[in-house]
Amino acid sequence: MLSGPAEALVRDGWHVVLPCRRYSPIAVPEPKQGIAALKALRPRGHRPNGTGGRKAGRALWVEAHWDRPRELSTKAGAALGGPADLMVAWVHEQYRRAVLGACEWLLAPGAPVVEVRGAGGPPVEPEPVLAAHPTQLIMVGALSELDDTRPLAHGELTGAILDAVHRAVEGRAASLHQVGQSRPLVR
């Protein structure tokens, strides 16, 4: 479900670790020269830097299961190779506290967190799990805000998550955001 945001982070040069049950590769974009770049070539053999000076991003998948949080955090830590500067997490509600708690040691001090949660069920006051880290909390509804006759589209969700990532990276204060509408409770 987080493949869109992961692809965007890789394009922006982030090193992304994807712990999940099933392998789902994230493409690393190849820098391509456009017509303007070809016209701007200097002497024969000169090539412009396709990444604009940024280092290339990469994505690594590690097999992980939510019901084994310590194993998940150990595998993710080995893949990271150092402290993480950002965590984006969408974990089933029953495993959320255990998984995020087990992964907290992976984060650099004060690193921001984007926590995605489902908004279904009775209304509750959502609280981020990792209090020591500024958290952008996203509550996800089932119906589109643009058209309540259809489900929330993947693009709408990806956009909301990336907005939260940008707020987190910019150092904005912790906040709560709703994307999509909850299905009405049927009585």
CATH value at residue 110? 3.40.50.720
**Residue 127: inside a domain:** yes
Could you identify the residue written with the tokens 């997490």? 89
pLDDT in tens, 167-186: 999 999 888 888 888 766 55
Length of the chain: 187
Instruction: Give CA–CA dist 111/104, Å, rounded.
Output: 10
10 Å CB burial of residue 16 (0-12, 13-18, 19+) is: buried
Whether pTM > 0.85 for this model: the answer is: no
**Residue 184: inside a domain:** no
Contact 141, 180 (CB under 8 A): yes
In the predicted structure, residue 118 carries a pLDDT above the cut 90: no
Domain tally for the chain? 1
**Residue 187: inside a domain:** no
pLDDT in tens, 15-46: 888 888 887 766 655 555 554 444 444 444 43
